[in-house]
Structure 1
Amino acid sequence: MAAGGPDPLFGLRNSFYLGAYQAAINNSDIPSLSTDDAVERDSIVYRSYIALGSYQLVINEIDSSAATPLQAVKLLALYLSNPNNKEMTISSLQEWLGDPAIGNNPILRLVAGIIFMHEQDYNEALKHTNAGGTMDLHALNVQIFLKMHRSDYAEKQLRIMQQIDEDHTLTQLANAWLNLAVGGSKIQEAYLIFQDFSEKYQMTSLILNGKAVCCMHMGTFDEAESLLLEALNKDAKDPETLANLVVCSLHLGKPSSRYLRYNFNLFIYFSVVINLFSGSLHN
């Protein structure tokens, strides 16, 4: 991509960031990409499949000759696909991170951050993400610091993102996550960010859940329930939607058992911070 020229992957990235994973997959046939852009395109597509739970497809399609970013994405799929894979994938990850030839690859560092965040080893995650280098890494840093209840450090990361590109989708999302964590009058600001997304882009479960969590914080549980039921229509098995519906139903005095019918560990999704990267973070 020429300096200052149009970004051929803008739409694809945006779909992924906002949770429109199938749209990202469907619209990934982009002509005349450079080799680097083609690898990034493929990494976004495979991360979208991971977000949709299609781990085995990613594992099957990425072979040992693939570029480092794709190998890293495959490692994420292996990690998420089976609890029995965790020790092996973390061992491979540590080996790759220690390799001077590939250890600083931004997608590899991003996957490391996601995996160690899943492990709740936030200090180890930050060892690989804190240097930043991409908007994805800065956004993941915001998430990690919020998980650590360090909104002060999260705010510093957000300021870096705003200096790079204030209008970037990830900057706006990070701003909304921080506002939700801070609470109070900042909740309305977070709601307006998600509202702006809903007016500009395809409505997704991520956007609907974002608006709904804001509504719950503001005490408008009827509106939150309506948004969450709309999200449920898009994906009846989305654990974040189901978890938020449980909370919403409890506040409205309605039965919540219907939302617990799937075999999910829903309690881990009660956080008000919306997770983006691992499928978010299934993605």
Structure 2
Amino acid sequence: MAAPDLLFGLRNNFFLGAFQAAINNSDIPNLSPEDSIERDCLVHRSYIALGSYQLVINEIDSSAATPLQAVKLLALYLSSPENKESTISSLKEWLGDPAIGNNPILRLIAGIVFMHEQDYNEALKHTHPGGTMELHALNVQIFLKMHRSDYAEKQLKIMQQMDEDHTLTQLANAWLNLAVGGSKIQEAYLIFQDFSEKYQMTGLILNGKAVCCMHMGHFDEAESLLLEALNKDAKDPETLANLVVCSLHLGKQSSRYLSQLKLSHPDHVLVTRASAAEEAFDRAVQTIA
């Protein structure tokens, strides 16, 4: 008999974006030292997802285990633009250290940071060997960013062999279906629908369903899902970005959502594209004037 997975609920909450629930239900008795470190990593990563970077930076001291130090690096990287360069150089130094360089959480954090930097080849250098479900799921995301759904599919197959029913396997399957499009959109929708019936509704699940609805042309349904997501987190960048797109399709005002996105996430791809389009338009107007 395999021992019960004491961290299953905590992991699931984290993967599905129920970050506060992950934090609130993290007091789990009888954890092994290794499980305790994993629990602490998930809790601190939940705080990072909620934007509480400074709390994580303050709580993890220099005596903490390598995985926690890696999580602290992620908090430092995200906390301010001034920290990015020094964080990346620390990260590269640690990755080059034979004693800790192969730690799965350190490699995962490296993948997340380099993905933020849009340096996908550097990210893959650390994540591609896989080893954990999270690393394979991150590989799927990176390959989809690179528009290589063929490679993403290979990673998904590895995940399905490891554990077909795993939450991350299901999520990766949905991401791939959305990227491939066509008849696969319905399959993606059913995965998110299944999550919404089994677990508490999160912004991630609502956005997943909404994007499927938009692909299928059901913009009214998408809008109501996105407004529900906005009630849960008024600053979530994906919700705001999806609302901009959805509103445009419905012929409604989208400027308020775009303004909110600009204020809370000035680096978001939709903001940078909108700004580039505005500048191009202004230049075109000047040439005619």
What TM-score do the two structures reach when normalised by structure 1?
Answer: 0.93
Cα offset, 1:27, TM superposition: 0.1
The aligned counterpart of 2:83 is: 85
In the TM superposition, residue 260 of structure 1 has moved relative to its aligned partner by: 2.4
* CA distance in structure 2 between the partners assigned to 1:257 and 1:154 by the alignment: 35
Conserved? CA contact 1:179–1:189, under 8 Å: yes
Name 1:194's counterpart in structure 2. 192
Q: Percent identity?
A: 85
Structure-to-structure mapping, 1:32-181, within 5 angstroms: 32-181=30-179
Asked whether the equivalents of residues 97 and 103 of structure 1 are also in contact (C-alpha less than 8 Å), the reply is yes
1:251 matched residue in structure 2: 249
SS of residue in 2 equivalent to 1:261: helix
Q: Distance in 2 between the 1:27 and 1:269 partners?
A: 35
> What secondary structure, in the 3-state scheme, does the structure 2 residue paired with 1:99 have?
coil
Does structure 1 retain, via aligned residues, the 8 Å contact 2:185–2:215? yes
Q: TM-score, normalised by structure 2?
A: 0.91
- Give me the CA root mean square deviation: 1.1
Shift of 1:72: 0.1
Partners of 2:237 and 2:268 within 8 A in 1: no
Whole-angstrom CA distance in 1 between matches of 2:165 and 2:99: 34
Q: Is the 8 A contact 1:239 1:266 kept in 2?
A: no
Whole-angstrom CA distance in 2 between matches of 1:267 and 1:74: 23
SS in 2 for 1:79: helix
CA deviation after TM superposition for structure 1 residue 183, in Å = 0.3
TM-superposed CA distance for 1:66, in Å, is 0.3
Structure 2 gaps of 5+ residues are 272-289
Aligned residue-pair number? 268
In structure 2, what is the equivalent of residue 207 of structure 1?
Answer: 205
Distance 1:115 1:212 in 2: 27
Distance 1:247 1:13, change over 3 A: same
Shift of 1:258: 1.8
The CA deviation at 1:259 is 1.0
Shift of 1:265: 2.8
Task: Report the secondary structure of 1:226's partner residue.
Answer: helix
Amino acid in structure 2 at the alignment position of 1:170? L
1:28 and 1:151 map into 2 onto residues whose CA distance is 35
**Aligned-partner SS, 2:26:** coil
* Residues 185-227 of structure 1: per-residue CA shift (max 9 Å, x gap): 0000000000000000000000000000000000000000000
Aligned to 1:17: 15
- Distance in 2 between the 1:195 and 1:223 partners? 13
Question: Which stretches of structure 1, 4 residues or more, deviate above 4 A after TM superposition?
Answer: none
Tell me the equivalent position of 1:277.
none
1:27-50: CA deviations, max 9, x gaps?
A: 000001000000000000000000
Distance in structure 2 (CA, Å) of the matches to 1:233 and 1:112 = 32
2:22, 2:43 within 8 Å by CA — same for their partners in 1? yes
Structure ID, larger Rg: 2
Q: Give unmatched runs, 5+ long, in structure 1.
A: 271-283
Counterpart code for 1:268: V
Structure having the higher helix fraction is 2
Q: Using a 3 Å threshold, how does the CA distance of structure 1 residues 269 and 188 change in structure 2: closer, same or farther?
A: farther
* CA distance in structure 2 between the partners assigned to 1:255 and 1:130 by the alignment: 42
Could you list the per-position Cα deviations for residues 121-180 of structure 1 after superposition, in whole angstroms to 9, with x for gaps in the alignment?
A: 111100100000000000000000000100000000000000000000000000000000
1:228 corresponds, among 208, 226, 229, to: 226
